A and B are shown apart, each in its own frame.
Chain A
Amino acid sequence: MSRKIAAFVLAAAAVAAIAGGITGGITARADEFTKEDLARWEQEYMSVVQTGRELWTSPSLGTNGVACAQCHPNAANTHPETYPKFQQQIGRVIALRDMINWCIQQPLEGKPLALDDPRMVAIEAYVAYERRGVEMAPGKH
């Protein structure tokens, strides 16, 4: 009797193992997000891009009324795909947000944003969005 039970347990274990193997392991499961999730998350993202656009055209990031969009219409000529790179104006290799802060301080004569400020994320989101589709070229001048 115990032998039959053992055999059954063994077979069941084997089946479970096979089933687990097909889905990638017994313990790990992939995300299963839906089309609605994707649409909603895209919207969340675009709302931040929109905030970034508003900051981009706003005279209030600096103290002299100059806005990013004055020299960078549609965030042109910001080249986010080249960061991190050696930035001659700062003397070392930096990330995009460091250059955004440099511009806020220098041409806009304002106070730099904290690196984890949500406004910084919004600005980066807008800059990257306007540059979508361009190949990464880190370090390039």
Chain B
Amino acid sequence: MSRIRFLWLIAAVFLCAVSARAAETPAAATPAAAAPAAAAPAAAAPAAKVPLGLPPLPVPADNPQTPEKIALGEKLFNDTRFSSTGTVNCATCHVPGKAFTDSPLKTSEGIHKLTGTRNAPTVVNAAYMKTQFWDGRSPSLEDQSQHPFVNPVEMGLKDHQPILDIVRSDPAYTAAFKSVFGKEGTAITMDEVTKAIAAFERTQISAGSPFDQWYFGGNAEAITPAQKRGFELFVGAGRCVSCHTIEQTQALFTDSRFHNIGVGINTIQSEIPALAGEFLRAKATASEVDKKVLTDKRTSELGRFAISRGFDDLGSFKTPTLRNVAVTAPYMHDGSIATLKEVVVHYKNGGVTKETDPVNDFLSGGIRPLVLTDEEVADLVAFMEALTSPEYASMAGAGGTK
């Protein structure tokens, strides 16, 4: 090779090497393409499919879901023989076609049309609640269903024996209990009855509302502009989301906690010291509490305090879910507020229904007067109307779009 050519060669090699290094340097400055070590959380084992907007369904280990158990539970749910008059069953107050409420009744009607003090909560999505009843006196679905049977203003039985007599002898039941629980005769107890009812209730979950389709499903057209404004108010100036929870990937619309928002208790403010003291003196058992709160309106207004006897719980009730709220009027634990607009106004007033009423001393720290225009009130109502699941969309009061 001639010297010139050799020089060319060296220069060429050098230039190549230099340009390669120049190209490298900027590349080295950018972060490596590999994802950081703990990038995505490990994918959970996929649970049974739930509607869009709900978290995985909690099912207790000692009461797994099976189609047979669910069918048995539904049968028990609808059996009117479990009442003293033979006319009342769970579905009397939790009507399947009415999103499992008895809308438009303010408080439910049991045997002889006797009324209690509380509005029937929906069974829909109750499976997600940490406690049952407005005051959380029942720790589970399984525990809850035994109480209305023996409440004097609900099914009015003296005890559970009539139920046990039926399920132990009626051929329509005996085969099912044998097959589902492997039990027959006196081995069948209220434990099995309530487990079956709970299994049925656990199937009543629903979401996939226009809000869910918009917020979790990414469909920008699923709700109206008013409803979108309502959402921003819901998480902002409306101060709703802290108790009626929405999270990043699902929304239960309830924190399962107890709050005094100034309904009902406002009417007994001056009597609270006497009532609370009297209640403590009685020192009731759990089933006595169940009867007392449903039959004595003034005691009912003590709310969770009747269960926990903590000052913090005076007049406080469980946050209900807002799913399907537009079709489950009237509202609050005593059914005392008829429309969603009046509900929003109650919150706007800071925990009183009439603006001039005195606020009760034990009001939750989360409740205070809101600064909302009339249009904003309407937007919040519109937003709540977007929470109706497709299967209830044809009920009276259902709003939303698409």
Contacts and interface: CB of A to CB of B under 8 A. Distances in A.
Interface stretch (A35-43, A51-59, A85-93): A85-93
B373 interface: no
Nearest to B242: A89
Interface residues of B, number: 26
Contact of B22 (A13, A21, A92): A21
A88 B11 contact: no
B15 A91 contact: no
B2 to A, nearest CB: 10
A92 B248 contact: yes
B235 A13 contact: no
Interface in A13-68: 13-14, 17-18, 20-21, 24-26, 28
A90 to B, nearest CB: 6
Nearest to B246: A91
B11 A93 contact: no
Contacts of B21: 21, 25
Interface string A81-113: 000001011111100000000000110010000
A52 to B, nearest CB: 24
Interface of B: 4, 7-8, 10-11, 14-15, 17-19, 21-22, 25-26, 235-237, 239, 241-242, 245-248, 251, 371
B247 A10 contact: no
A55 B237 CA distance: 22
A7 interface: yes
Interface of A: 3, 6-7, 10-11, 13-14, 17-18, 20-21, 24-26, 28, 86, 88-93, 105-106, 109
A92 to B, nearest CB: 5
18 contacts: A11-B7, A11-B11, A17-B15, A17-B18, A17-B19, A18-B18, A21-B17, A24-B25, A26-B22, A86-B248, A88-B242, A89-B241, A91-B246, A91-B247, A91-B248, A92-B235, A92-B246, A106-B239
Nearest to A88: B242
B15 A3 contact: no
Nearest to B245: A91
A13 B239 contact: no
A26 B25 CA distance: 11
Contacts of A89: 241-242
A62 B358 CA distance: 26
Nearest to A101: B236
Contacts of A90: 235-236, 241
A104 to B, nearest CB: 12
A105 B8 CA distance: 73
A14 B235 contact: no
Contact of A91 (B4, B10, B14, B235): B235
Given A7-B4, A90-B236, 17 more contacts: A10-B7, A10-B8, A10-B11, A17-B19, A20-B22, A24-B22, A24-B25, A28-B25, A28-B26, A86-B248, A89-B242, A90-B235, A90-B241, A92-B247, A93-B248, A105-B237, A106-B239
B218 to A, nearest CB: 15
Residue of A3, A21, A24, A86 with most partner-chain B CB within 10 A: A21
B348 to A, nearest CB: 14
A13 B14 CA distance: 10
Contact of B241 (A3, A7, A10, A91): A91
Contacts of B17: 21
Closest 5 CB pairs of A and B: A25-B22, A21-B18, A91-B246, A17-B18, A91-B241
